[in-house]
């Protein structure tokens, strides 16, 4: 097998903070982040991902690290998907809030790209029309 494998699938993990209930019950964080891309659980097992984010990572940084390059590929005509998974113990409301918080980051970059692309194509079409009119008038 070729040692120079590339994957079109990337996996990032964001560690959530303990809930207030977990803290009240004496819960403790049982993992540690080993920058840039590994997590060790209870000092026994290490897992490596493409990216690992701690509980303090804000949405803009998370988006820039994980989804930003996907938008560029998407605009170039490729398929792109961001999937957000939560453990079953997380409430649905948390899932919806977290999912929706990525959308503003996406549209904040996507809409200007569309506008720029439309302007470029509009200018190209206008030049073609003017060129055709000049060509017809010279006949």
Q: Which residues contact 129 (CB under 8 A, 6 or more apart)?
A: none
Q: Which residues contact 52 (CB under 8 A, 6 or more apart)?
A: 12, 13, 14, 15, 33, 34, 35, 36, 37, 38, 39
Name residue 33's beta-bridge partners. Answer: 39
Who wins on pLDDT, 126 or 41?
A: 41
Please indicate, yes or no, whether the overall pTM of this predicted structure exceeds 0.75. no
Q: How confident is the model at residue 139 (pLDDT cuts 50, 70, 90)?
A: low
pLDDT in tens, 58-98: 777 877 887 778 888 887 888 877 776 655 555 444 444 44
The predicted model gives 113-120 an average pLDDT of 81
């Amino acid at each position: 097998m070729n040692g120079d494998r590339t994957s079109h699938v990337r996996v990032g993990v964001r560690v959530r903070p303990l809930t207030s209930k977990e803290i009240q019950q004496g819960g403790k964080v049982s993992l540690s982040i080993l920058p840039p891309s590994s997590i060790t659980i209870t000092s026994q097992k290490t897992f490596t991902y493409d990216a690992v984010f701690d509980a303090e990572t804000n949405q803009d940084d998370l988006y820039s690290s994980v989804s930003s390059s996907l938008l560029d590929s998407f605009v170039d005509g490729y398929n792109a998907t961001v999937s957000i998974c939560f453990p079953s113990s997380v409430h649905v409301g948390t899932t919806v809030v977290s999912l929706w918080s990525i959308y503003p980051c996406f549209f904040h970059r996507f809409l200007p790209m569309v506008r720029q692309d439309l302007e470029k194509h509009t200018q190209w079409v206008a030049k073609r029309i003017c060129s055709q009119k000049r060509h017809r008038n010279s006949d």
